[in-house]
Amino acid sequence: MKFKNAIIFLVIIAVVAMAGFTALNGLQIGETTIRPIKEAVNQGLDLKGGVYVVYEAETDATSDELNQIISQTIEVFRRRVDAMGLTEPLVIKEGDNRIRVELPGVENAQEALDMIGRTAQLQFITIDGDVVLTGSNVKKADVTFVQGEANPVVSLEFDSEGTKSFADATAEYIGQPIFIVLDEEIISSPNVKNVIANGQGHISGDFTVESASQLAALIRGGALPVNLKEVQTSTITATLGVNALERSITAATIGFLLVLLFMLVYYRIPGFVANIALTIYILLVLGILVALNATLTLPGIAALILSVGMAVDANVIIFERLKEELRAGKTVRSAIESGFKRATRAILDSNITTLIAGVVLYQFGTGPIRGFAITLIIGILVSMFTAIIITKFLLKLIVGMDFTKNSKLFGA
Amino acid sequence: MKIIENKTKWFSISAIIIVLGLVLAIINGMNFGIDFTGGSLMEIELHQQIEVAEIREIINQYDTNANISLLGPDRTIVQIRTINDFDSQVRAEIFNQFKEKYDLPENEPLRAEQFGPAIGKEIQNRAFLSMIISAIGMLIYITFRFELRFGLAAIAALLHDILVVVAVYSIFRIPVNSPFVAAMLTILGYSINDTIVVFDRIRENLKTMKKSNFAQVANDSITQTITRSINTSLTTLVTIVALYILGVEQIREFALPLIAGVLSGTYSSIFIAAPVWVMLKEKQNRKFVYKPNHE
């Protein structure tokens, strides 16, 4: 029994140490690579740098009509953002008539904003002001070079409707210009030389390869169905973000180690047990955040600190009870039983109360408040589990090893 | 410990801090960030120290009332704050002027933010609303598990902590911006958590109580839980203080109110929540005594 308990205990320590090492440094076994948590967890814009913008639709539409407009706009945004090839971009509806776009790690925030917020209403207009076709008639848009043009051009392929009206228009306006207009700005005004019936055309102008491919991407993505106003933007360069994260991690690590030291010195054997439980706690919370693909932000770190505080608190409550029971003359074994029983109620009530706050904040909050709430909720649930289940299990394991009856080592 | 007997002393200490904060807030105003007032903020790394007057020349073309300050360890970062709504076009223009004049290698500012005037109000309202609803939810739970008076006393302690932290923001002129909301939320969680554990002990001791001496029960319960209260706030503080010492400016602005919140939360669970509960309890008891006389 003693021997078996000692083995189980050592195995648990080994597993936790291994998991802790993996979390810090990552692990590679054969083909499988486990990334360190620092890299695996999504970092919010305030930590990583990047840009976010909240647009408001300028429209009088309401209910279904408004929903329709917003979801179309989100679709267009998604296509544009995807064309930028960023990882973890976020395009979500906020409130009724707003859309939040988050682009973590974007290199040139200004350019990205320009690209996303453009209405991109493409029109082909005759000299009489008739609209021949629009961006929605374009099936394909690409960058190519054509003979006689020094700069790259954007080649277009129209759908059947577009092909027909373009053929009609080129027949009617031969020798005259057709204006290619993007967001009410004429970007090209070629003269019609002959009838174009094959549904192909191109936009030439003062393009570089980059600007031409941007325009092609905009046309492919489609025009925005509504005018949008930037109501909130924030750009943080990666350098500012990286500093914030690196230094926060150092601080959190130092803080956590000091807490472990305090627990060990103050509570001795139970303190050591609590330290194992707390390490498991941190690993679980970070692991769940990674698994849920949650984003860690500054408020998230605050929630993490708060929940670590609560996890430590749960252990402190238990050990203080344990001490009282020991002082009342109980044996270590029965003191653990009754101490846990009485402490559990206090832990449940205090954690559930905070949990209520977390759930409400998640329900009613937006953006950063939600990030705070989700981290807090996970933290509280895991903290109750580690304090009540794991700490108790480990303590009983140690008592079962029977190597000391000295209740002083249990904090009395 | 004679906590309850000295309640006037404890209440006065809190009142002094809160009133000081309020008075300073009225005289100086709170240091509201643009996410609360609406407006724009830019931070540009200039790689050299430039006179504010020189920077103002550029900014005056856009807004003569803009707030200019120098940040960073070598004060080489210029921060421009204005209540005007600079869209990305204007921000790019301003940045390019700096880029040309000081020959900057970067292509964009370190940080640029813009909040429409309505957004700040909305963030505040939503945060405020969710805090109120949380408080109601917690009150219901505590009433259900304990009793209404425990719930009211816990909310009183929570209100106390929030006021103290707002006072700290006002006294130290900490910018009130998005992290402010997160700090408030953290304090909300911590304050209640800390109070409930003291109340749990009171609830337990009430069962074995002989006479209806609520002050005695509260004093005993506080004595029994004070080690826990101190140890818990110490361990929580350690991490936040580490963040404050090692963190970047933004993190420090966030850690300071949290330190105040944890200290206040611990203080209020002992010196505010329990005495308020005793007051409510004694008032209730008096009612029970007098009632038969009236009828």
- The β-bridge partners of A19 are none
Write the residue in B109, B182, B246 that is nearest to A372 by C-beta.
B182
Residue B295, pLDDT score = 42
Fold of A50-118+227-236: Alpha-Beta Plaits (3.30.70)
- Domains contained in chain B, number: 2
Structural domain harbouring B90? 39-115
Please tell me whether residues B128 and B178 are part of one structural domain: yes
Please tell me whether residues B95 and B149 are part of one structural domain: no
Which pair of structure tokens corresponds to residue A41?
């967890």
Q: Is B241 on the interface with A (CB under 8 A)?
A: yes
Last residue of a domain, one of B100, B115, B130: B115
Please tell me whether residues B285 and B164 are part of one structural domain: yes
A2-42+237-410 and A50-118+227-236 share one CATH topology?
no
Q: Where are the domains of chain A?
A: 2-42+237-410, 50-118+227-236, 122-221
In tens, the pLDDT along A82-113 reads: 777 776 778 888 878 888 888 877 777 777 88
Rounded Cα–Cα distance for residues A243 and A241 (Å): 5
**pLDDT greater at residue A134 or residue A86:** A134
Rounded Cα–Cα distance for residues B194 and B266 (Å): 6
Grade residue A405 by pLDDT with cuts at 50, 70 and 90: low
CB A42 within 8 A of CB A294: yes
Q: Looking at the domain assignment, is residue B271 inside a domain? A: yes
Residue A172, pLDDT score = 86
For residue A242, pLDDT over 70 is answered with: no
Mean pLDDT within A291-312 = 81
Residue A241, pLDDT score = 61
* CB contacts, 8 Å: B181 with chain A: 299, 368-369
242-281 in B: which are within 8 Å (CB) of A?
242-243, 245-248, 250-251, 254, 258, 262
CB B160 within 8 A of CB B268: yes
Please tell me whether residues B141 and B83 are part of one structural domain: no
For residue A165, pLDDT over 80 is answered with: yes
Mean pLDDT within A240-269 = 83
Residue A149, pLDDT score = 78
Please tell me whether residues B51 and B135 are part of one structural domain: no
**Pairing state of beta strands A50-57 and A90-94?**
unpaired
Q: In chain A, whose CA is at the least distance from the CA of B138?
A: A353
Please tell me whether residues B135 and B98 are part of one structural domain: no
Rounded Cα–Cα distance for residues B92 and B105 (Å): 15
Residue B288, pLDDT score = 63
Please tell me whether residues B149 and B90 are part of one structural domain: no
* CB contacts, 8 Å: A254 with chain B: 242, 246
Please tell me whether residues B157 and B106 are part of one structural domain: no
Q: Looking at the domain assignment, is residue B139 inside a domain? A: yes
Please tell me whether residues B134 and B91 are part of one structural domain: no
Architecture in CATH of A122-221: 2-Layer Sandwich (3.30)
Q: Nearest C-alpha of chain B: how many angstroms from A136?
A: 28
* CB contacts, 8 Å: B248 with chain A: 240, 243-244, 247
Of A355, A386, A209, nearest in space to A282 by CA: A386
A244·B251 Cβ contact <8 A: yes
Q: Looking at the domain assignment, is residue B11 inside a domain? A: no
Please tell me whether residues B243 and B144 are part of one structural domain: yes
For residue A302, pLDDT over 50 is answered with: yes
191-230 in B: which are within 8 Å (CB) of A?
192-194, 196-197, 200-201, 204, 224-225, 227-228
For residue A3, pLDDT over 80 is answered with: yes
* CB contacts, 8 Å: A237 with chain B: 106, 108-111
pLDDT tens, position by position, for chain B (295 residues)? 788 999 999 999 999 999 999 999 999 888 887 777 788 888 888 888 888 888 888 888 888 888 888 877 778 888 888 888 887 778 888 888 888 888 888 877 888 888 877 777 777 788 788 889 989 999 999 999 999 999 999 999 999 999 999 999 999 888 887 778 778 878 888 888 889 999 999 999 998 877 678 999 999 999 999 998 999 899 889 888 988 888 777 778 888 888 999 999 999 999 999 999 999 998 888 776 554 544 4
CATH number at residue B151: 1.20.1640.10
Which ranges constitute the DSSP H helices of A187-237?
209-221
CATH number at residue B57: 3.30.70
Of A232, A227, A229, A228, nearest in space to A53 by CA: A232
Please tell me whether residues B158 and B246 are part of one structural domain: yes
Please tell me whether residues B165 and B273 are part of one structural domain: yes
* CB contacts, 8 Å: B245 with chain A: 251
Last residue of a domain, one of B91, B115, B139: B115
Q: Nearest C-alpha of chain A: how many angstroms from B78?
A: 14
Residue B108 DSSP class: S
Q: Which of the following CATH numbers is that of domain A2-42+237-410: 3.40.50.720, 3.40.720.10, 1.20.1640.10, 3.40.190.10?
A: 1.20.1640.10
For residue A292, pLDDT over 90 is answered with: no
Mutating which of B42, B193, B237 best tests the A interface, going by the most A Cβ atoms within 10 A? B193
B21: Cβ contacts below 8 Å, ≥ 6 apart: B163, B164, B166, B167, B168, B169, B170, B171
Query: Does the ipTM exceed 0.85?
Result: no
Q: Looking at the domain assignment, is residue B31 inside a domain? A: no
Residue B289, pLDDT score = 58
Q: Looking at the domain assignment, is residue B132 inside a domain? A: yes
Grade residue A249 by pLDDT with cuts at 50, 70 and 90: confident
Last residue of a domain, one of B81, B97, B115: B115
Which pair of structure tokens corresponds to residue A402?
């029977």
